[in-house]
């Protein structure tokens, strides 16, 4: 039996975890491949929801802003996992330093880099930074770039494929039956980030709590996805039609019942909403780097069901926008997920 190990960065949100876990589950369920996943922080919380084993914990000394440090304790533990598990392939998302370390120590190991389009091409980032990141990703045998836009690059990758966002398997077969429920999905990207991003998340949540007073016919569900946001909101006085959740909810429950989804403009959630066609309102939030990437997501998706709002909008005005969005025609878009193409490329390399 073939064995594949995933190494996925577990912060600041789940953007580096969801796609990788989806691919690994497909390899396990559809092709009888043995899998293991090494992640940390919020990534391990997501593994628990999927029934997957946690392989490692980290301390603040084990990682920096670009992922795990290969020479510290958690990095050393990754090497121990590889030596004992002996995978035929490693799929890495968001860990350029670990990728380089594995290529040095295991020159013949098949390595796949899962990448965001902004990892390869991002005019908002310095050229020197992009050169540095791409240099590490070039060490992979295969680079799979998935997101809301296709990329081309002059960097000499061994093989690079650019495709649509990899979407969770359970989302691909969902249908929506509106049930007067509005969900605000803040996502998991509120830990190990700057104060501006955290405050923006709180502003969105507060806006939804205040808007609920203008839309009493609907139940409002604020999904914090992290304890720091929940702790700050839990002392707020909220309307009787509003509920605040500390953790994540099953996406099937949310997407099957929602009349409206309110979210930030991240790659994964926006791609799922574009695919499903559920009425949605999205905010661009965070630092300049994140805002630029989120703006690109909006422009490239061009989804008819997704509207956009400024974070400073008045609750009464926002309520009108919510009603307008709900009453608008819900049309499925021409968004094509990258799941099948990514799996085919991985199998081609794995069996070569």
Q: 64 is written with which tokens?
A: 């920096």
Separation of alpha carbons 83 and 76, rounded Å = 11
Please give the DSSP secondary-structure letter assigned to residue 13. Answer: S
For 23, how many CA atoms within 13 A lie in the half-sphere containing its CB?
A: 33
Residue 54, pLDDT > 80, answer yes
Domain annotation for the chain: domains and CATH numbers: 3-166+337-350 (3.40.50.2000), 172-327 (3.40.50.2000)
Separation of alpha carbons 323 and 212, rounded Å = 12
Q: Which residues contact 186 (CB under 8 A, 6 or more apart)?
A: 201, 204, 205, 222, 223, 224, 225, 226, 229, 263, 264
Residue 266, pLDDT > 80, answer no
Residue 333, pLDDT > 70, answer no
pLDDT value of residue 228: 75
Least confident of 93-107, 228-242, 333-347: 228-242
Give start and end residues of each alpha helix (H) in the chain: 18-31, 42-49, 73-85, 96-105, 117-120, 127-137, 169-172, 195-211, 227-233, 251-257, 267-276, 288-301, 315-327, 339-350
**What's this model's pTM, rounded to 2 decimal places?**
0.88
pLDDT one-digit tens code per residue, 116-154:
999 999 888 899 999 999 999 999 999 999 998 999 999
pLDDT value of residue 193: 55
The predicted model gives 300-316 an average pLDDT of 87
pLDDT value of residue 314: 95
Q: Which residue has the higher pLDDT, 352 or 177?
A: 352
The predicted model gives 153-167 an average pLDDT of 96
């Amino acid at each position: 039996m073939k064995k594949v190990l995933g190494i996925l960065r577990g912060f600041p949100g789940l953007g580096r975890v969801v796609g990788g876990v989806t691919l690994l589950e497909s390899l396990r369920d559809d092709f009888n491949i043995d899998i293991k996943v090494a992640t940390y922080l919020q990534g391990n919380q997501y593994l628990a929801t999927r029934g997957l084993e946690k392989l490692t914990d980290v301390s603040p000394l084990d990682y920096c802003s670009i992922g795990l440090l290969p020479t510290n304790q958690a990095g050393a533990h990754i090497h121990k996992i590889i030596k004992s598990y002996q995978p035929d392939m490693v799929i890495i998302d968001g860990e350029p330093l670990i990728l380089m370390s594995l290529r040095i120590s295991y020159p013949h190991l098949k390595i796949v880099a899962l990448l965001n389009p902004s990892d390869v091409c991002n005019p908002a980032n310095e050229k020197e930074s992009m050169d540095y990141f791409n240099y590490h990703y070039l060490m992979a045998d295969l680079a799979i770039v998935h997101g809301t836009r296709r990329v081309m690059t002059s960097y000499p990758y061994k093989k690079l494929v650019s495709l649509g966002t990899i979407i969770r398997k359970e989302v691909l077969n969902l249908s929506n039956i509106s049930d007067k429920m509005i969900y605000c999905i803040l996502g998991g990207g509120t830990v190990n980030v700057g104060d501006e991003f955290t405050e923006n998340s709180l502003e969105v949540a507060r806006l939804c709590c205040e808007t609920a007073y203008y839309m009493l016919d609907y139940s409002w569900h604020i999904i914090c996805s992290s304890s720091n946001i929940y702790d700050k909101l839990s002392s707020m006085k909220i309307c009787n039609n509003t509920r605040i959740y500390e953790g994540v909810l099953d996406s099937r429950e949310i997407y099957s019942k929602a009349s409206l989804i309110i979210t930030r403009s991240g790659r994964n959630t926006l791609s799922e909403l574009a695919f499903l066609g559920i009425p949605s309102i999205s905010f661009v939030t965070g630092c300049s780097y994140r805002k630029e990437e989120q703006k690109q997501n909006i422009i490239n998706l061009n989804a008819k069901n997704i509207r956009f709002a400024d974070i400073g909008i008045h609750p009464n005005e926002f309520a009108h926008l919510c009603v307008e969005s709900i009453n608008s025609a819900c049309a499925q878009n021409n968004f094509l997920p990258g799941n099948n193409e990514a799996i085919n490329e991985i199998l081609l390399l794995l069996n070569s």
